Structure 1
Amino acid sequence: MNEIRVSVIYHSATGTVSEIAGELADTAEKHGAEVRLRAVEGSSAPPDAEGTPRVREHATIAADPTDVLWADAVLLGSPTRFGNVSFQLKSFLDSLGDAWRKQQLADKIYSVFTATNSPHGGQESTLLALTNSLHHFGGIIVPPGYTDPAKFTDGNPYGTAHCTGEGGKKIDDATRNAARVQSERVVRVSRALKDT
């Protein structure tokens, strides 16, 4: 069985996307993957958000294009910005132009995740917008789909998505379970592809 390398790369403004990223990374490790957990520049809690979780300690290494090149599978996360990807994560994706020109981003597994403040704050449009770049890369997009009963609780087949709501609700069991399903599927599909 081949070793699978997974990079979880994200932007987190308040710590919510960071929490999801951590769950994805932990699950990939539990399923035998070597994992890099990386935050793009600008990931942190705003100064007025006391008590908001900060970027996980082992993700203090800033994301770099080499983290994508190293990986067999890449999970990308962004908070929703008006139904779209945050400029911080988009800027990171834009930095991959040279690797794209050299066809170094093709044939990798990609999957996406997000968080919003409101229930209909653009989760699905953000997840789908994230995949636009991945199509250009020639990536193999592995969504969680409705492949596990846990996905019916968070209700999103495109990727893990969490709504914090007005009170800034931390990720709950439904979100954690959805992230576990997604990460396990990414590792399983990556391994199957690499073993062929």
Structure 2
Amino acid sequence: MSDTRLLILFYSTYGTNHEMAECAAGAAREAGADVRLRRVRETAPQEVIDAQDAWKAQIERMKDIPEAAPDDMEWASAYLFSAPTRFSLMPSQMQAFFDTLGPLWQKGVMANKVASAMTSSQSQHGGQETTLMHLHATLIHWGCVITAPGYTDEVMFELGNPYGATAIAGEVNDTVRGAIRHQTRRMIGMADKLAG
């Protein structure tokens, strides 16, 4: 049994990062962690969303997942973020949520908590590593203990990315799921060690 309270926070336009987050939630529960799955609030104009059936459908699929709030950040003892790449950066929706956390950062709420990140892109070299490093930069400012998967399991050599689990949009295959499960278990193990 784990004492870790894991917040899995994601943003997903068409479903890839939602699927990745659900995979991580399953792995975390199997590892005995207490899990909160949360999505960041959509900030795109409704008329833009309504013009794309796939985007509208994904919002419908996520309607029962609560939107993230600052108290989720306080509750958690570890964080796993999943967001697609936007020109090698995190999407503005994720950044907008992070921008609300200044008061918590000033109180040191996120400091010394284990954190890790995942991403997806349209192509294999579509900015995945730089997006993860961009997410890591925020975690560094918060004082989190970044727990990337590294090459600590054979599946990470197959995936080829030590910074975090990554996927091509719409292709959460067995290798990606294996990397997500490994990354999730690794960070829960590290969080339990820190708490011990």
Scaled by the length of structure 2, what TM-score is found?
0.90
Q: Is the 2:3–2:33 contact (alpha carbons within 8 Å) kept by the matching residues of 1?
A: yes
Q: Which amino acid aligns with 1:190?
A: A
Indicate yes or no: 2:19 matched with 1:16. Answer: no
User: Over aligned residues, Cα RMSD in angstroms?
Assistant: 2.2
Q: Partners of 1:2 and 1:80 in 2: how far apart? A: 31
Partner of 2:27: 27
**1:49 to partner: Cα distance:** 1.9
Indicate yes or no: 2:146 matched with 1:145. Answer: no
**1:59 to partner: Cα distance:** 5.8
**1:3 to partner: Cα distance:** 1.6
Q: Which amino acid aligns with 2:19?
A: E
Unaligned runs of 5+ in 2: 44-48
**1:60 to partner: Cα distance:** 1.4
Unaligned runs of 5+ in 1: none
Q: Deviations over 1:36-84 (max 9, x none)?
A: 0000011999832289766765861001111111111000111100011
Q: Deviations over 1:136-193 (max 9, x none)?
A: 10110000000000111111101110012xxxx3310011000000000011110111
Q: Partners of 1:37 and 1:98 in 2: how far apart? A: 22
Indicate yes or no: 2:89 matched with 1:84. Answer: yes
Q: How does 1:37-76 map to 2 (within 5 A)?
A: 37-42=37-42, 47-49=52-54, 60-76=65-81
How many residues are treated as equivalent by the alignment?
191
Partner of 2:176: 175
Go from structure 1 to structure 2 and tell me whether the alpha carbon gap of 1:83 and 1:141 turns closer, same or farther (over 3 Å shift): same
Q: Partners of 2:50 and 2:111 in 1: how far apart? A: 33
Indicate yes or no: 2:123 matched with 1:122. Answer: no
Q: Partners of 1:45 and 1:81 in 2: how far apart? A: 20
Partner of 2:111: 106
Q: Partners of 1:158 and 1:74 in 2: how far apart? A: 15
Q: Deviations over 1:97-149 (max 9, x none)?
A: 00001111101011000010111110000000001111110110000000000
Go from structure 1 to structure 2 and tell me whether the alpha carbon gap of 1:138 and 1:116 turns closer, same or farther (over 3 Å shift): same
Q: Partners of 1:162 and 1:5 in 2: how far apart? A: 25
Q: Partners of 1:46 and 1:18 in 2: how far apart? A: 21
Go from structure 1 to structure 2 and tell me whether the alpha carbon gap of 1:50 and 1:113 turns closer, same or farther (over 3 Å shift): closer
Q: Partners of 1:176 and 1:58 in 2: how far apart? A: 23
Go from structure 1 to structure 2 and tell me whether the alpha carbon gap of 1:21 and 1:59 turns closer, same or farther (over 3 Å shift): farther
Scaled by the length of structure 1, what TM-score is found?
0.90
Go from structure 1 to structure 2 and tell me whether the alpha carbon gap of 1:60 and 1:108 turns closer, same or farther (over 3 Å shift): same
Go from structure 1 to structure 2 and tell me whether the alpha carbon gap of 1:142 and 1:54 turns closer, same or farther (over 3 Å shift): same
Q: Is the 2:9–2:40 contact (alpha carbons within 8 Å) kept by the matching residues of 1?
A: yes
Go from structure 1 to structure 2 and tell me whether the alpha carbon gap of 1:73 and 1:9 turns closer, same or farther (over 3 Å shift): same
Go from structure 1 to structure 2 and tell me whether the alpha carbon gap of 1:7 and 1:45 turns closer, same or farther (over 3 Å shift): farther
Q: Partners of 1:127 and 1:50 in 2: how far apart? A: 23
